[in-house]
Amino acid sequence: MRMKDKVVLVTGGAAGIGRATALRFAEEGAQVVICDVNEAVGQEVVKQFGEGAAFYKVNVTSREDVQKWINAVLAKFGRIDVIVNNAGVLRDGQLVKVKEGQLVRQLSEPDFDLVISINLKGVFNCAQAVAPVMIKQGGGVILNASSIVGLDGNFGQTNYVATKFGVIGMTKVWARELGKYNIRVNAVAPGFISTEMVTAMPEKILDGMKSHTPLGRLGDPRDIANAYLFLASDEASFITGEVLRVDGGIVVGT
């Protein structure tokens, strides 16, 4: 019960790593509050997190949506101890694709903008909304979802890599700015994790992921949830501004 009576927010908490993270915190006694754009799934999933857990439909790209959410959580629970900025999307594509000397395809501007707005601006919006609350109450923990591709790069993911690299930068800035208020800020960089999105990929792709991971398997969403739990707990009370790789030892591209 390391998080007993703590109020923990998880964005993108209706599926995948977000859902596993919310469940893990609930198991440790937290009052879990999740948000997602998928209201039907979110309302169903939140039932797994125990009495007092709450779901809100929130678009993290909207500053108004985010502020309304934070205000509602404060009205209901009175404080916010941890936020896990997990919400994110993929829209992969090569910068340019050339065939026989001719440009045949390129990463579209709408796909670039969408990923930036959710994965990067969404993290910014949520952190900026919650920081004043944590300052006023005397402390808190902000945890951000990066990725190993934010550290190593990856083919066909200009937009996604840019966001995950940017999240690392914001994490380090906020750790410096907010430390004096007893707010710790860290990031987690998952490797290949067996979420619904990943396991739907062709078997050949999955085999490639496993073969490039020294531990020989995909990670489980709970592996990432455990990393978030550790970083949120008092056991990590002197850790801030760090990026924790949870990747089975992989180096992307090798």
Gap between the Cα atoms of 233 and 2, Å rounded: 7
Q: Please pick, among 56, 160, 181, 228, the residue that the annotation labels catalytic.
A: 160
Q: What residues contact 70, with CB distance under 8 A and at least 6 apart?
A: 80, 129, 130, 133
Length of the chain: 254
Strand ranges in the chain using DSSP code E only, listed in sequence order: 7-11, 31-36, 54-57, 82-85, 96-99, 102-106, 140-145, 183-190, 243-246
Handedness of CA 213, 214, 216, 219 (dihedral sign): negative
160 belongs to the catalytic site: yes
Which structure tokens are listed for 121?
A: 């601006």
C-alpha distances in angstroms, 22 versus 28, 219, 229? Answer: 10, 17, 10
- Active site residues per annotation: 160
